[in-house]
Chain A
Amino acid sequence: MDADEAKGETYEEEHVHVVYEQIASHFSSTRYKPWPIIERFLRELPDGAIGLDVGCGNGKYLAVNPDIFIIGSDRSSNLASIAKRHPPHSVVVADILYLPHPSRAFDFAISIAVVHHLSTSWRRVEAIESILQTLRSGGKALIYVWALEQESSRRGWTEQDEQDVMVPWVMRGSRKAAHAGEAGGGEDRTFHRYYHLYRKGELERDVQLAGGEVVEAGYEKDNWWVVATLRTVV
């Protein structure tokens, strides 16, 4: 059986969406420092630029530049509620494959640590295409995904490792809850999220397949990233 066959939307619902919904608040408390390349990308945009943050999580990139306008979206309504606290920006709940935005309308888009949660190769390409389709001519998308090659990280994966993995998220039980005798409150709980770890060159290939053109690409702290535009059809 094709490994991809068993995956798809239902699989992601169980191994990605439900997990983020449950860990939203704890996850958010650990995500506050913007990564430098992303921060620079957002700061260098001209005042008044309008764009998207697809899979905005807790909205940490909505706090970077108040002179542009970002519509953030996330699949998790719990994360979207946390993300909405960043004026002048806005947040909606949406699926990356069904974005509720006009096509060819935006100056930029970012999608940080999102595309690697889609569980088939075809769905990842479709996700990137969905982002690129929102860009107007000359508009740029910055996309980050987790890398397979991260020998120096505590996970220690190398290019010989399996690319489709379940990554644990441990939510420490609070001592206070245990003391108060709340059911399950005192115990650690481990959740597993599905990731597709990208190999060197794979993100660029997916961008090509999605009808995009790679403007810039690189590796930063266990992640592959690209800046891409929508290829214009002549």
Chain B
Amino acid sequence: MKLLTINFLTCARKTCKSTPASFPLHPKEAELEQVETEMNPLFLRNILPRLDWEAMRMLTTELGLPNLPAETPAPEELVVATTTDLDAGNGDDRASGPSQMARDLHVLLMETSIASGKLVCGNCGHEYAVKEGIANFLLPSHMV
């Protein structure tokens, strides 16, 4: 399960959802893997402003991953103008491509995944298992 997804998950218990402590869920004993996916710069640009950035930062810190910038990166930080060899003389000498920051964010949000481990609710402490990259939110019957 890619890290992006965790920004849209809470505890499944109704009593927890209304408490701020149920979001974000906290990783425990997480085995990480890189799942290579094609980069879609437009997708990244659209999704970033929708993320709870503080929660995203908390997650990467808890996983021991490199720190994210303090604020959500602005759209212009995601692209760089690439200057092609002017001598090639093929007209268009400027194009834009994804910046290093965009590439790093793609790797971190879209490719870095929890292969196995647990996601823990900060309110009730319930642990949801992640197996083969899929988190299981079914509650035992005494908890529903």
Interface residues, chain A, CB within 8 Å of chain B? 9, 47-48, 50, 66-67, 69, 71, 73, 75, 77, 80-81, 84, 87-88, 90-95, 97-103, 105-106
Interface stretch among B82-90, B95-103, B136-144?
B136-144
Closest to B9 in A: A100
A66 and B139 form a contact (CB under 8 A): no
Contacts of B74 in A (CB 8 A): none
The answer to whether the Cβ of B12 comes within 8 Å of any Cβ in the partner chain is yes
The docked-state distance in angstroms from the alpha carbon of A100 to that of B43 is 23
A92 and B137 form a contact (CB under 8 A): yes
Q: Say yes or no: A77-B40 contact (C-beta < 8 A), given A47-B46, A88-B110, A90-B1.
A: no
Name the interface residues of B118-144: CB closer than 8 Å to any CB of A.
128, 132-139, 141, 144
* A13 to B: closest C-beta gap in Å: 10
21 sampled A-B residue pairs with Cβ under 8 A: A9-B141, A9-B144, A48-B45, A48-B46, A48-B47, A67-B43, A69-B47, A73-B137, A80-B134, A88-B43, A90-B2, A93-B136, A93-B138, A94-B12, A98-B138, A99-B12, A100-B11, A100-B137, A101-B8, A103-B18, A105-B8
The docked-state distance in angstroms from the alpha carbon of A15 to that of B139 is 19
A87 and B12 form a contact (CB under 8 A): no
B134 and A92 form a contact (CB under 8 A): yes
The docked-state distance in angstroms from the alpha carbon of A97 to that of B135 is 17
Contacts of A66 in B (CB 8 A): 40, 43
Query: Which of B5, B11, B18, B47 is in CB contact (< 8 Å) with A71?
Result: B5
Closest to B24 in A: A102
B47 and A102 form a contact (CB under 8 A): no
A75 and B17 form a contact (CB under 8 A): no
* B55 to A: closest C-beta gap in Å: 10
Contacts of B70 in A (CB 8 A): none
